[in-house]
A and B are shown apart, each in its own frame.
Chain A
Amino acid sequence: MIKQFFALLLIATSMIPDTNEKIIARQGRVSFFSYTTVENIQADNNQVLSIIDMEDGSIAVSMLMNAFVFEKALMKGHFNESYVESDLYPKGVFEGKIIDFDPNQQGEQIKMIEGIFTMHGVPNELSIKTKIENNNGKYVLTGTFETLVADYDIKIPALLSENISDRIEVNFRFEFQPYEN
């Protein structure tokens, strides 16, 4: 009887964490840069959402493409209408997993995130190095990676190939807090 009770307890405890152990970032920052000799282009999005399941380290990120702010108003218009086509593909979405994530480790840890980023309707596998800071349960994820414009089926007109880099640098910073349903 004791063992059956133990088994029941095991079932019960294995079901519980799923509902509680999630952390969310509601004002994550994603910036991207295109450096060329002619022109530097930068865009910031300060309303990126991200959520992590502490149980298994799975992570999801969702951003509205039209929330990117550019130096020039016209750039934002071009970006949304002629490059990422925000009316057809309003969101950029990442789904993945932090490999060997240890939620209990205090201080810094460097981990890899592997997953699929979908933008402009094109899914792409990404492997991103991230620094995770854990300050008494306040998690901050930061990192930088590079990606190719061509990977997302985004075409740069030949006339502008000098102005827009085909390699885009992406920076991110997410500050997480416990997620309550």
Chain B
Amino acid sequence: MKLTSDLNSSLMRTKNIFTVCLLLLGVVLNSNSQDLLEILDNEQKSEIGYVPATFKMTRIAFGHSTETRSKGVLEVFAANRFWNTPEPRSQSFAADKLSTRIALEYGISDRLSMGIGGTTFDGLFDGYLKYSLFNQQGGDDPFPFNITLFQGGSYNSSGIPNPAINDDFNDRLSFTSQILISRRVSSNFSVQVAPTYVHKSLGLTTEDPNNFFAMGFGARYKLGLHVAVVSEYYATFNPIESFNTYGPFALGVNWELSDVQLQFMLTNAVNMVEDTFITQTRNNFNFKNPNLNFGFNATYVIHFNNALRNTKKRTDSK
């Protein structure tokens, strides 16, 4: 009898221990799926810190943003400015004056972009190279800014009215160098500053400088997933002396959808090439004619590079 009761009690004890065991196991299992995700988090940690595009488009309003296009991306770019002459009774359809810049912009690599274009109103032919030096990122190797170098040049093809000026090809060239620095402050708000140097080979008069220093300011605020409000301003520190100039200012809306990007803006800058609108904007920003320009830029994006096919090739060849 004693033996069986002993056996019974030890059986009971085993049962108790067994239930405790099961409980413990249950706790372990319950916390398991959390553990699994934690393990994956540890595996992945080093890669987080991705910051999406700061401006999305290569321009904020009229000036360049830090964005460059990816390799093999061609943008067909048409920029238009519409404005009215001061005549009170002009009978033009829609607007008195129109200027259009048509350009092709291409991503040579993911960091280097180039573009060539021509403008109807001021007869400027221009080209640029843009190199993305640093990208804003978080994570283990954080960098707070996007930094892009911009070098543009233009050729003035229009007739120079002053016969005293003996110009040759070199005199008609202008150059713009910019360091574009931007930051995506929050998911909705991005800012940019742009220290700028402009060299114009031919001054309008001898008293005007050939070299200009300017600072650009730009910002974007995202209203929705596809729409943003943008604003841009350039201040020139040593402006032209022979006539009054004002800083170009723009207030606009950028809208992008699929392969099309549209920009609408109100601005006082008639010209569309950097060296000219930064140094030679003759009107201040107000609602009088001909100071107010309505700007409309349309970009169509064509991809020559199938990123998916490239990754397939890469993984296949492995």
Which chain A residues have a beta carbon within 8 Å of chain B's beta carbons? 3-4, 6-7, 10-11, 14-15, 18, 22, 24, 26, 42-44, 46-47, 49-51, 53, 55-56, 58-62, 64, 66-67, 69-74, 76-78, 80-83, 85-88, 90-91, 93, 95-97, 155, 157, 159-160, 163, 179
Contacts and interface: CB of A to CB of B under 8 A. Distances in A.
Contacts, number: 145
Contact of A77 (B11, B18, B48, B56): B56
B307 A86 contact: no
10 tightest CB-CB pairs across the interface, nearest first? A73-B70, A60-B36, A62-B40, A82-B225, A72-B303, A7-B17, A66-B50, A81-B52, A71-B308, A49-B40
Contacts of A88: 187
Nearest to B40: A62
Contact of A78 (B10, B11, B13, B258): B258
B303 A7 contact: no
Given A18-B28, A51-B40, A82-B226, A69 B308 contact: yes
B303 A44 contact: no
A101 to B, nearest CB: 14
7 contacts: A7-B18, A11-B17, A18-B28, A44-B311, A53-B36, A78-B258, A81-B56
A64 B225 contact: no
Contacts of A3: 10-11, 13-14
The secondary structure that dominates the A interface is mixed
Contacts of B311: 44, 46, 69
A73 B305 contact: yes
A62 B307 contact: no
Nearest to B225: A82
Given A50-B40, A53-B32, 17 more contacts: A3-B13, A4-B10, A7-B17, A10-B18, A22-B39, A26-B43, A43-B308, A51-B39, A59-B36, A60-B33, A62-B37, A69-B307, A71-B309, A73-B72, A86-B52, A157-B226, A157-B257
Contacts of A58: 29, 32-33, 36
Interface footprint category on B: 35 or more
Contacts of B47: 47, 64, 67
Contact of B53 (A22, A77, A83, A97): A77
B24 interface: yes
Contact of A55 (B24, B29, B305): B29
A83 B33 contact: no
